[in-house]
Amino acid sequence: MIGVVPQTILPTYLLEDLQERYEKLGGKYASEEIHEESGLRINSCMDRDNMQECYEELVDAVFNCLVYIFRNPERGHTLLISLLTACEVLADERQQQDENV
């Protein structure tokens, strides 16, 4: 999974968290289909609407950020702006995807 993005782009702590998450949850998504070259099971996440999954996770992140700001009014605004930017980028990506279909 991580091989898709050059590891130099992702900070070490995030790489470690992704690896831990994949090790913990990866087996849950293993399908019966085997990749011909590697012999590994194909992860069923490849069959999902990953753009929709991203959107749903962003909605959760925005909600949690708003709760954080409510509880800590002097903090979290930069994080919220970053999440809103991510939402805009995702919306643009979804629109491009729809136009290419």
Residue with tokens 């085997």: 34
**Tens digit of pLDDT for each residue in 42-87?**
777 767 788 899 999 999 999 999 999 999 999 999 999 999 999 9
**Which is more confidently placed, 29 or 77?**
77
**What backbone torsions phi and psi does residue 42 show, to the nearest 5 degrees?**
-80, 130
Contacting residues for 45 by C-beta, under 8 A, at least 6 apart: 29
Q: Which long-range contacts (CB under 8 A, 24 or more apart) does 4-7 make?
A: none
What are the sequence ranges of the domains in the chain? 1-47, 49-101
Tokens of 99: 């136009």
Q: How far is CA 96 from CA 27, 87, 90, in A?
A: 32, 14, 10
Which helix H or strand E contains 46, and what residues bound it? none
Tokens of 43: 């992860």
The pLDDT assigned to 6 comes to 65
**pTM for this prediction:** 0.72
